Structure 1
Amino acid sequence: MHPNLVPPLDVHEEELKLRRELVRQRPLIKLNAVLFFGEGARSARGCGVDGAGALWSCPGKLRPRHIPQFIIVTGHKQRHRGNMGINGFYQRFDQDFHGRPVYQKIMERRQVKRSLVTETGDLVSRPEDNFIRMWKPRSQEALVLSRRFQTVCEVPTEDADDVMVYPKLLPSKEVWFLFFDDRRGAWCIGPAIGAIEIYAKCFTVEEAIPCNLGEWQVWDIGKKEWYTNKGIRLIKVG
């Protein structure tokens, strides 16, 4: 009865035709979809579990892409905001996450008591140094309950007279991971791969490896808020 009525089947075919023409004229439209949808799509562009960025096909000729074995995270100097453990020496983990490589912190610079440093510059080993603190995931209810008595404060930064920064790298006393999380669209530093509670994040979906990433958002443990830290830098090694 309606003079301008078009059958739904014809509308669908016309829409597909227009979409194919649009993709042909602007190839990046297809690329943007590939960036976000599915493990199979990431594998198709060389960022799957087996490749994790070995080939990068956006768009044009395939180019080999080197994945570094080590990443140095440095530049976080705002001690009054906490989470100084972000800095450190990270090694590539034996598994990937969301189609991109994962790195685990293995070495760090640490403050120690002067009495534990010998005249030759060696550090006296203690039994508690072999204890590594592990993170345990909490439910959403537990997270809400844990915030009931939180207070906002400034993190004290004054050093005691008997404390010094040890000049050599020491094994990490906590478990820290550097990974890409599709749910956030960001590279994250947290206590476990895919953890909900993270310490820092950098929103960049186009980087297949975490190198030269800037504009990091870091969690302020005193004020309980995210802030931008422009000093953090990630440097690939090896």
Structure 2
Amino acid sequence: MGKQGSWGPALVLALVLAPGAAQPAPAAPTAPTAQSTPPAPAIALTPTERQWLEAPVPVLQFARDQALPLDIIVQPQPTPGETPMGLAFVAGRCKLVLSMRGNPEAQATLDRIEPSLVGTVVEAIAAHELGHCWRHLQQQWGSLPEGMDDTHWQSRVTAEQAELLAAMWRTRREEAYADLVALAWTLQRHPDRYAEVHAWHVRFRAQQDVDTGPHDTRLWVQLAQDRQAFGAAPSIFEQVRPLWLAGLRAGLGVGL
């Protein structure tokens, strides 16, 4: 069943959240001793935390089946203002970080989703983060496909501006790839909800502080309106490549 050793947190998460999961029988009471320490009380999950934890389970199971080195970190301390779900890459491993406790943005994000679509969208958000993970694991994060160049504009700006713009557009490319993975996942797992999840992406990406900014993936999301535009490769990570490349080519004149 893959590398179970590295997937302890995901397995525990899936088991804990499984409806009707059997609970272990309580241990027989023992006489207290001077060294005895009372067990720490279990931390109850809020409805918000449960939604963020339950919805990604299919994505986590998929990652486990693919033997991807992914660890799940649930922040126990208050994390106000943090992204409820994000990804870090440390020492060759992906870290899916959930920041829900004491974080109003966790519920606010759910409130901005149609109630009947919450689970499907949060699942897509997890697939988005898995897209980032895949790019890191392939050692391709931030890189352009062979034959593409994004330096032609640098002579028109200062060196400092060029550095800032390059970083911004590098992030934009990766956000676009991850958005497409989220949509490919939805098309594969929830084809009847694809139009709704795509419409959510359109709304979510509509408000941009800066055109071609680091999270301006509107060009790619628009291309993905046609569900037939995804490739036919078995892997969702490859299915998105034709759309991703099309967006890169279209964006060559205005920044990638």
Of the two structures, which has the highest relative contact order with CA contacts closer than 8 Å and spacing of 6 or more? Answer: 1
More strand by share: 1
**Range of TM-score over shorter length:** under 0.3
Query: What TM-score, normalized to structure 1?
Result: 0.21
Query: What TM-score, normalized to structure 2?
Result: 0.20
More helix by share: 2
